[in-house]
Amino acid sequence: MQFKATDAQILEVFRLAVNASSPIGMGMIHYRAKNWDTEKVTLIFGPHLDRPIITLDYVEGRMVKLSVRRGVEGEWSISDQKPRVEYESWCIKYPTYPDLLRAAGIEVQT
Instruction: Walk along the chain (110 residues) and give the pLDDT tens digit of each residue.
Output: 999 999 999 999 999 999 999 998 777 788 878 899 999 999 999 999 999 999 999 999 999 999 999 999 889 999 999 999 989 999 999 999 999 999 999 999 86
Residue 109 lies in a domain: no
Residue 110 lies in a domain: no
pTM, 2 dp = 0.93
- How many domains in the chain? 1
The confidence score (pLDDT) of residue 27 equals 74
CA distances from 106 to 10, 30, 36, 49, 97 (A): 9, 31, 20, 17, 11
| Distant-in-sequence, close-in-space partners of 76: CB < 8 Å, separation ≥ 6 | 2, 3, 4, 5, 10, 68, 69, 70
The confidence score (pLDDT) of residue 33 equals 81
Q: Which domain holds residue 46?
A: 2-103
